[in-house]
Amino acid sequence: MPDAKGASFLLDSPGPLVDALRRQGWRVIGPKLGQGAIVYEEIESAADLPRGLTDEQEGGHYRLREGDPDRWFDYVVGPQNWKKWLFPARQKLWSAERSKDGFSVESHEDEWPKTAIFGARACEIAAIEVQDRVFDNGDFADSGYTKRRAGMLIVAVQCARSAATCFCASMNTGPRAEAGFDVALTELETGGFLVECGSDAGAAVLDGLELADASAAQQQAGEAVSHKAAAEQTRTMPANVESVLRDNLDHPRWEEVAERCLSCANCTLACPTCFCSDVEEVNDLSGDHAERWRVWDSCFSLDFSYIHGGAVRRSTLSRYRQWMTHKLSSWHDQFGTSGCVGCGRCIAWCPVGIDITEEAGAIAAEPLAQEV
């Protein structure tokens, strides 16, 4: 039994941990193979994990390949992320029924069993913490989100490799998760897992597992795994991107990228921090039943900026610039942090391979002269 958070142990495979979670009543959501990609769905045992697969990612490119059959987590992030569960793409908010006394309105909240997310990467934990600032923010807290977040346990997996699209090291969000998890696993090069206990809830889950204490050398081997993954990253975000974008709203680079951008919104849907939504009203033909739904939306859709008679951001240039400057610059003013965690999804899942690091780097390399 781990008696303190911060303690480290050894485990042969993730199987006993998945089994322990399920025995203790946790619904376990983890990585699975689905539609040729790694997706996040409920898993029943470690046999559901996509063991032996690895991924290949580049701008506009994602492929799964056969890898070392003994490795459990040699892929990085896929098209989905945990917001699919915490901030669902379609959510019923309330429904109303007409009766002889008028309308009765019933608010709707989905059932949320206690849920463990299994295999969250450092950048994904950082993304959840970014969304916490949006949805769990005191006076304007989203009750559904806060309920789901409170009933959640995080089992992190420390990345042992980076995809070519990853740049979390330059965003200080990875590849090693230092906090924000209940349990963290590092798959060691020699086989087996280093298990870190990050909270009392994590200690309770680990209770009853046969865990050997990790030696100092084994803990160092675990840290070396993350150092290697960090060293593999070639993409970086300019350190001064926040001020560079704020000061270069008329930079000609925006026109160049707008000529390539399809305004398809894929980047915002794949992004683990994007949170824009719309509200839809649905009635039946009789007018006796009505529902209100919240659905994901995107700043790339024309209607998103519709204000009294027309859209404010009519051009692709204005929409791409809005997305990128919000992510990397004005997000700091709004939420005190960057809106980007360097996961690289918007690069891999952009159908024309637009690369946020390349766009930011081009503007940072040749900024407009500032008027004095």
Question: Can you give the binding site for ligand SF4, defined by CB under 6 A?
Answer: 261-267, 270-273, 300, 327, 340-346, 350-352, 354, 356
Q: CB of 342: closest distance to ligand SF4 in angstroms?
A: 5
Cβ distance 186 to 150 under 8 Å? no
Supply the minimum distance, in Å, between the C-beta of residue 251 and ligand SF4.
16
Q: Cβ atoms within 10 A of the Cβ of 308, count?
A: 5
CB of 240 to ligand SF4, least distance (A): 17
* CB of 353 vs ligand SF4, minimal distance in Å: 8
Distance, in Å, from the CA atom of 298 to the CA atom of 276, rounded to the nearest integer, reads 6
For ligand SF4, the closer CB: 51 or 121: 121
For 215, residues 6+ apart whose C-beta sits below 8 A from its C-beta are none
Smallest separation (angstroms) from ligand SF4 to the CB of 148: 20
Nearer to ligand SF4, 8 or 316 (CB): 316
Closer by beta carbon to ligand SF4, 200 or else 278: 278
Q: In terms of CB distance, is 24 or 322 closer to ligand SF4?
A: 322
Residue with smaller CB distance to ligand SF4, 182 or 359 = 359
Between 155 and 341, name the residue whose CB sits nearer to ligand SF4. Answer: 341
Task: List beta partners, residue 11.
Answer: 193
159 contacts 175 by C-beta, under 8 angstroms: yes
Compute the least distance from the CB of residue 125 to ligand SF4, in Å: 12
* Separation of alpha carbons 310 and 308, rounded Å: 6
CB 196 within 8 A of CB 176: no
Quote the tokens at residue 366.
């040749």
- The smaller minimum CB distance to ligand SF4, of residues 180 and 344, is found at 344
What is the rounded distance in angstroms from the CA atom of residue 185 to the CA atom of residue 181? 10
Q: Kindly state the smallest distance separating residue 370's Cβ from ligand SF4, in Å.
A: 26
Contact 363, 240 (CB under 8 A): no
Q: Residue 205, Cβ neighbours under 10 Å: how many?
A: 22
Whole-number Å distance between alpha carbons of 131 and 136: 8
Amino acid at 19: D
Closer to ligand SF4 by CB, 95 or 170: give it. 170
Cα dist from 73 to 70, 117, 182, 270, whole Å: 10, 15, 18, 20
Cβ-based neighbour number of residue 295 at 10 Å: 12
Q: How far is the CB of 71 from ligand SF4 (least distance, A)?
A: 24
In a 3-state reduction of DSSP, which class is residue 64? strand
